[in-house]
Every structure is written in C-alpha cells, then in structure tokens.
Structure 1
Amino acid sequence: MKRFSTLAGIALLAGLSAGTAAADVYLKDASEIVGTWQLETVSSSLKGPRIEENRTWEFRPDGVIVTSGYNRHLKMNDVHEWKYQIVDGKISADDPGRPGKTIDYAVQEKTADSMILRGGIEGFYFFKKR
C-alpha cells in the first residue's frame, strides 16, 4: 500500500509540473486592454485545435464591452453589451445570460497587437488588435 501512495504522489507531481504554464499577465487597469480587438479563434486549450470566429470585442474605457459580428452559437449576426472591471489583475465581466453573475478572464499573453484570454465559456480566446 505504501508503494502505491508513493507512486501516486510522484505521478501527481509530474502531472502538475507538466501542466504548469507561464504566469498570467497582471492587468493594472483597463487602459491596458481598451480598444477594439478582433476575435479570430477560440479553443478549449492553449495548444489545441481552434475554432474560427469572426467577432469584434470592444473594451471601452467606461467599463463596457461590446461584442459584435457573427455568433456561431445563434447562427446570426448580433451585438451584445455588458459591463466589465479589472479585479485582481483579471477581467471580470457581467454574464449577459445570468444577471448578478460574472465571467472572469485572465490575460494569458499580450503584445501591442495580440492578446490571448483564458476563461469564459470557450476556454481560450485569441485576438488581434484592430
């Protein structure tokens, strides 16, 4: 029995270290994301297969996100608007379908012209700056 727990512990530690990713980008405030971003693809994992998207996310300085474009879930063009704020370095946005609930997104990677968000329904969101 002792040998099993030692092997299980080693396997658990190996799995944890193999899954360790680089630290998230800590946002000081909304000015770091304000602007219009083209959502190009989404994926359930950082390196996994991606699903094409054609939506725009506009992060406004007044704490509002506006998403627009083709919604593949609804199979039509739409526009949604909801509030967001930066909390503990992450984006905390109202959940449009569930009043009083929020969806959190961590910035996985960010450059001047690209950004990857982790969280929400899809898992990973891959953006280009417009």
Structure 2
Amino acid sequence: MNRCVKILPLVAIFFTLSANADVQLKDNSEILGKWNLHDEAVSLTSPKKAVTQEWEFKADGTLISSASDVAGRISALKIALKYSIENGEIRKQSSPGREKYESCKVVEKEGSNMILKCTYFFFLTKK
C-alpha cells in the first residue's frame, strides 16, 4: 500500500505532461489547405484577440497569408512566406524577402482545430 501511494504522484505527473505534449508533424500533408486564423494570444491562459486572416499551406512550401483591412487604403493584403516541417515543427519565414525564420509548435490539433505556438499563440480552424 505504501508503495502505491508513492507511485501515484509520479503517474499523475506523467499523464499531465503527456496531455500537454506538442503534436509532432511528420510532414506538411497534415496542415495543407486553407485555415482561418481567428484568434491570437500571448499565452494559452491570457485573453484572446480576435483577428481575421486566412493561412493557406501549399504543398510547394509556400504559406499564403491573406488579411482584410476595411479601415485601410487597401481592401486585402496577401503575403507569400516560405515554410517547411523540421523536427516535427513548422519553420516559417518571419517576413517576406528576409531569410529570418521562426519555429511554430503545434500545441494542439484536434479535428478541424489547431493551436500553434509561434511568437504568439495562434488559433486556427480548417476551412
């Protein structure tokens, strides 16, 4: 009985860590297509900020980011960025024309929903 009591906390810690483990992508086939980026946040527990963007992951390693700006001088903005899958993470170009990249971990991918942790947390839904 005493041995069981000592093992229970270790088992609980193991399951807690495995539940929060990042999703390891094998290749880009798991993310190909159009995604609605609807929220972003500094952390998973902080308030979300609503955004309206579309990300399209193409098979050729291009990420097309589209956004609407109703208050601006242009109605729509499309940016092409490079991306790849390395070590189970998305490695995407930070800004067009520069060879600076950031790594994005897939924190959660369930059904048509995905949460990415880049500089910020991005909440996406598959179209």
Under TM normalisation by the shorter chain, which class is it? 0.7 to 0.9
Task: Report matched runs for 1:19-98 at 5 Å.
Answer: 22-70=20-68, 77-96=76-95
CA change 1:30–1:55 in 2 (3 A) is same
Please give the alpha-carbon distance, in whole angstroms, between the structure 2 residues aligned to 1:75 and 1:46.
33
Which consecutive aligned stretches of 4+ in structure 1 deviate over 6 angstroms post-superposition? Answer: none
Q: Secondary structure at the match of 2:60?
A: coil
CA distance in 2, matches of 1:71, 1:82: 19
Partner SS for 2:29: helix
Offset, 1:70: 2.6
Q: Following TM superposition, by how much is the alpha carbon of 1:33 offset from its aligned partner in structure 2, in angstroms?
A: 0.5
Residue of structure 1 in register with 2:101 after alignment: 102
Please give the alpha-carbon distance, in whole angstroms, between the structure 1 residues aligned to 2:37 and 2:23: 18
Unaligned runs of 5+ in 2: 1-16
Query: Does the 8 A contact of 2:80 with 2:96 survive in 1?
Result: no
1:127 to 110, 124, 127: 124
On the 8 A contact 2:66/2:77 being kept in 1, the answer is yes
Output the CA distance in 2 between the equivalents of 1:57 and 1:80. Answer: 10
Aligned residue in 2 for 1:6:
none
Superposition TM-score, scaled by structure 1 size: 0.75
Deviation of 1:91 (Å): 0.3
TM-score (norm 2): 0.77
Could you tell me which runs of 5 or more consecutive residues in structure 1 were left unpaired when the two chains were aligned.
1-19
Number of residue pairs the alignment of both structures matches: 108
Identity across matched positions, percent: 34
Cα RMSD for the two superposed structures: 2.2
Shift of 1:85: 0.3
- Equivalent residue letter for 2:80: E
